[in-house]
Structure formats: C-alpha cells, structure tokens
Amino acid sequence: MSIQSENVQKLVKRRSEARLGGGQKRIEAQHAKGKKTARERLELLLDPGSFEEYDMFVQHRCTNFGMEKSHPDGDGVVTGCGTIDGRLVYVFAQDFTVSGGSLSKTMSEKICKVQEMALRNGAPCIGLNDSGGARIQEGIDALAGYGEIFERNILSSGVVPQISCIMGPCAGGAVYSPALTDFTLMVKNTSYMFLTGPAVVKSVTGEEVSQEDLGGASVHASKSGVAHFAAASEEEAIATIKELLSYLPQNNRECAPFRETADPVGRVEDSLNSIIPDNPNKAYDMYAVIGAIVDDGKFFEVHKDFAKNIIVGFARMGGQSVGVVANQPSVLAGVLDIGASRKAARFVRFCDAFNIPLVTLVDVPGFLPGTQQEYGAIITNGAKLLYAYGEATVPKVTVTLRKGYGGAHIVMSCKQLRGDINYAWPSAQIAVMGADGAVNVLHAKEMKEDPEHAQAIFEEKKKEYEELFSNPYQAAQKGYIDDIIEPRNTRFRVIRALAQLERKHQEIPAKKHDNLPL
Ligand code: HXC
C-alpha cells in the first residue's frame, strides 16, 4: 500500500473512532435512557449531507485525576455548520457519552469557534445541550471556558438568532448559556435544568425534591418561564427548532423569509363581527381571533404554557412573518401581571431586534392588583413591557378589540409609544378604568350619604360613564386611534397597514446602550 493510501486509511479510521465519542457502551447507555447521541441529533436537525464538522480531532489537555489516560477525539462536543431548509446554521451538540458532556477548556474553544463563525457570517447558532456542567477535573479552566461562551452569547445577542435545546440533565454552567440565548426548548422526561441538582439542594436547604420537580421541562415551561417550549420527544423538539427558524431572519440585517400563501389578503371573516360577547365581563377565546386573521390560520406559539393571560408567537400575514402579542380574556380576564409582562417584553424585544413587525391585539382590563404582585415588583416588570414597546422601531400595528383600560392600554402598544397604526373595533372601551370601578370612585360619597338610593345613583352614573367612555369614539375623536374598523375586515386592514410600513425607518437617540428596567 502506498504511503498516501495508508494516510487516507488512517484518517478514515480516526474519523470512525471519533464518531463513537465515549464508546459503544456509553452510546447504548444513552439510548437506554431514551436519548439520542449528539451525532444522531445533528442528523435529524440538518439537511441530509449538509453537515460540515470542525475540530473533530480536538482533545482535552487535562492531566488531573487520571484524565491524561484517555483522550477521546472531539472531546465531548460535536461542532460545525450545515443547512436547515437550505439556510446556513452553526451548531454544537454536547456528547454525554464523553465525561457526561461536561465542559472542558478545549470543548469551550470548539463552541466559541462556531459562535464566532455564526456571528461573522450572519447565521443562527443552535446548541443541543446535554451536559453535567463544568468538568470538575479541570477546575478553573472549565469555569473560564464557560465565561468565554457566555461572552460570545452576549455579543451575539440581537445580531444572530441563538437557540438552545436542552436534551439531557444540564447543571451548573450548562444552564446559563441557554439562559442568555433567545429561545430555550426542553424535552419532557429526559431533560432537566438546574443550578445544583437534588443532592446539593438537600444538603444546603434540607429540601427533598426530584430532578423533574426541580427542573423538568414542565416546571420550566409553565412555572419559571425559563423554557419557551416543552417537547414530547427529541424528534418533536428538533421539528420545533426548524419551524421556529422558518419565521426568523438569518441575522439582524435581514428580514424574515417571505412565504407565498394561497390565503387571500382580502379574506373577510364574518365570525369576528359577533365574537365579542354582549356582557363585558364574559370571556372569549383570543386564539379564535388570531386564527381568523393570520395566513391559513397558522399560529406558532411561543411560551404556550407560561403566563397564559397573554399570548405571544409568530404567524404570517400576507406571506410576511409577524410577531403576534395578544391579551387572552379567557385567562384571568387577560390582566397583565408579572409573568405576562416579562413574557411579552422579551418577545417584543426579540422581534424588534430581528426586524419582525409586531401585531398587537388588545383586550386588557388593567394590571393585576395586590400584595403578591407589588412585592414581586409588578412596577418594574410592567415597565419592562412598556419599555419594550416604546423602544421598538419595527412596524407596530395594534387593534383594540374590547377593553383598553388605564396603564395597561398605554403599555399595549398605544399611539404615544410610537404605535404606527392603531385600530379599534366598535366594541372597544378605551378609558382610565371600567364603568363599575369609575362610578365607585367618583360617586362613593353621594351613595354613602343616600343609602336608600345608592343603587339607583350607581346605575344612573354608570350609564352616563358608559355612554361617554365605554366606546372607541372618544379615542378616535382625539386621534389616539387611527380608525374604527369592522372586525370582519381585520385581516385585510392589518396586512394593508403592514404593507404601508414596509420601509418604515425610525431612530432612537444615540446611546451606548439602554438601561431597561431589569
Ligand atoms: C466531570 C462529569 C460531570 C462533571 C458528570 N460527569 N458530570 N465528569 N465533570 N461536571 C461524568 C460522570 O462522572 C460519569 O462518568 C458520566 O459523566 C455520566 O454521569 P452520571 O452521573 O453517571 O450520569 P447521570 O446519572 O445521568 O447524572 C447526570 C448528572 C450528574 C445529573 C449531570 O452526573 C451530576 O449531577 N453531575 C454533576 C453536576 C454538577 O454539579 N455540575 C456543576 C459543575 S459546577 P463515568 O466515567 O462514570 O461514565 C459548574 C459551575 C459553572 O458548572 C458556573 C458558571 C457560571
């Protein structure tokens, strides 16, 4: 055999050994837990044959605790680039079969390399995480590695989309990089996120808790809001990443891809003319409104199980990707609380960073009152949403369907926060508060002094207030909304507004960066 053939054979052998990561036994253990390997996951994620791998032969440099005896090629993470639906993405997939996917300094160098390439070449960066955190044997070197990754997460934020998928137990440093990215997905029953696992929790606080209850997908998707999506399987998680990407641009200099639709722009939806109940305290389902106005009724929801009193997600209108934010009257009457404010603020800021126009559907009775909310800083958290809308320079089209009361009306993309086009349905009530509350404040003394006629006074004053304020005409007379539209024409009117705003250009004053209320 010639030297050249031998060289080629050696390469082929090294490659096939590297592809085994921590070895066949550990691959089988991974499968036995219902988990795929890093390479199997990348195969599902990327277009067939598109994966270009980097740093396959990188090895760790640790000599502590017997680590010098084993040097698996690739060292615990598979990195590179490929395409999804023909569009370039950079990827890293942690390999749990090598030291539990724990982060060594060389692993961090591999991850940083693809993060930098994603930033330089203007493409999304996707991390498939399955890691026990900092590699204990490497000490401070591993911690430094995390610092390097975090810094690149921060520099990439708002420049290229960053997506994290949690596909195993992720502890310590392994959860902070996902927290810095734009979207976090988790897989139910096989993935966990926590700073410290149940054993440490027990030793420090005495609390006994399972991995699932401490940091399972359902906990983070519904209680903490750390995860935006909880998928039933790894396949579903990967399909969700692909769908999410279809609504996003490659970077902050581009627009999201246009997708042709057979759904007519001028489609009139008669059902919307009767969707608002006569009783203002009765709920209806905002999903029905969203489904009726977007292309093909297709809505890709983000944060579905968290703070359900507000709905956020992506859709297309006339083929163009839009971010939809909508109060949900059927959950807590659509009130804004801490969770809803945080959820919507983050979504609005993402859309603004990536040139995705905002369509806001308003039916909000106000902010949730009470000590729980005040102690949890509803003032600061509500201000996040206010700030997010006020700073956003993407096209902002708003429709007030019913209630738009008080501060919540202002927060939800009103005209004064540089809302571009603000419509109202004839059922809109844009006022400081609802009629009952207003009468109780304004006429309390009168009713107290005449208890016999208190009810009659209440009814009379309520009628007066309703005639004056429980409609959209006061706001329309003053130009605070641009038009009162027939509900059934909403799709057409919003799409026409978006077309008008296609080349919108708006500046914010020069600054180093803002100081939004965190
Ligand atoms: C080195 C590790 C490791 C780690 C796991 N392994 N975590 N090696 N450093 N951090 C190794 C195990 O020794 C084992 O090796 C293999 O990976 C698989 O781990 P198992 O424990 O057998 O798997 P499992 O039972 O599924 O449990 C997974 C786990 C657990 C929940 C992740 O391993 C665990 O609790 N690890 C420690 C997590 C942790 O406390 N990390 C925090 C690090 S501090 P063998 O050879 O036996 O197969 C940190 C701070 C950074 O990250 C801060 C930045 C801000």
Q: Could you report the per-residue pLDDT of 193-236, keeping only the tens digit for each? A: 999 889 999 999 999 999 999 999 999 999 999 999 999 999 99
Q: How far is the CA of 210 from the centre of ligand 1 (A)?
A: 17
317 forms bridges with which residues in the sheet? Answer: 320
* 67: pLDDT strictly greater than 90: no
Give the Å distances, CA to CA, from 41 to 44, 47, 83, 127, 185.
Answer: 5, 12, 14, 11, 14
Residue type, 384: K
* Residue minimizing CA distance to atom 55 of ligand 1: 173
* 82 flagged as catalytic: no
Which residue has its alpha carbon closest to ligand 1 atom 23? Answer: 100
Nearest CA to ligand 1 atom 42: 172
**CA–CA gap between residue 184 and residue 171 (Å, rounded):** 15
CA-closest residue to ligand 1 atom 22: 100
**Dihedral Cα 460, 463, 468, 473, nearest 10 deg:** -170
List the domains of the chain with CATH numbers: 3-246 (3.90.226.10), 270-433+471-500 (3.90.226.10), 435-469 (no CATH)
In the predicted structure, residue 4 carries a pLDDT above the cut 90: no
Residue 49 CB-density burial (10 A; 0-12 exposed, 13-18 middle, 19+ buried): exposed
**Alpha carbon distances (Å) from 17 to 8, 10, 71, 487:** 14, 11, 12, 63
Give residue 9's pLDDT: 95
pTM of the predicted model, to two decimals?
0.95
152 CA from centroid of ligand 1 (Å):
24
Predicted local distance difference test score (pLDDT) of residue 3: 84
The average confidence (pLDDT) of the chain is: 95
Indicate if 266 belongs to the active site.
no
Residue 352 region, left (φ>0) first, then alpha (ψ -120 to 50), else beta? alpha
pLDDT band at 71 (very low <50, low <70, confident <90, very high): confident
Strand residue runs (E) in 98-168: 125-129, 162-166
Known catalytic membership, residue 283: no
- The residue that leads in pLDDT, 354 or 464, is 354
Q: How far is the CA of 354 from the centre of ligand 1 (A)?
A: 36
128-137, 246-255, 389-398: segment of lowest average pLDDT: 128-137
Ligand 1 centroid – CA 170 distance (Å)? 9
Indicate if the pLDDT at residue 468 is higher than 90.
no
pLDDT-derived band at 512, boundaries 50, 70, 90 = very high
Q: What is the mean pLDDT of residues 49-63?
A: 93
Nearest CA to ligand 1 atom 30: 132
Closest ligand 1 atom, residue 146 Cα: 54
pLDDT surpassing 90 at residue 434: no
Is the per-residue pLDDT at 97 higher than 90? Answer: yes
Closest C-alpha to 326, from 338, 318, 314, 317: 314
Stretch 41-45: mean pLDDT, rounded? 98
pLDDT digits (tens, 9 = 90+) for 100-134: 999 999 999 999 999 999 999 999 999 999 998 99
Please, are residues 198 and 214 in contact by the beta-carbon 8 Å criterion? yes
Q: Residue 467 pLDDT > 90, yes or no?
A: no
**Residue to mutate (ligand 1; options 99, 106, 175, 203; most atoms within 8 A of CB):** 99
Query: What does the pLDDT look like over 149-191, one tens digit per residue?
Result: 999 999 999 999 999 999 999 988 889 999 999 999 999 999 9
pLDDT band at 64 (very low <50, low <70, confident <90, very high): confident
Q: What is the mean pLDDT of residues 485-489?
A: 98
Active site residue 172: yes
The predicted pLDDT at position 68 comes to 86
* Contact residues of ligand 1, CB 6 A cut-off: 99-100, 102, 132-136, 143, 146, 169, 171-173, 176, 197
Crossing angle of helices 378-391 and 338-353, in 10° steps, is 20
| Catalytic site residue from 227, 237, 388, 408 | 408
Nearest alpha carbon, ligand 1 atom 1: 135
Rg (CA), the chain: 27
Query: Ligand 1: distance of its center to the CA of 135 in Å?
Result: 7
List phi, psi (to 5°) of 186: -130, 155
* pLDDT tens-place string over residues 76-86: 999 999 999 99
Question: Which atom of ligand 1 sits closest to the CA of residue 101?
Answer: 17
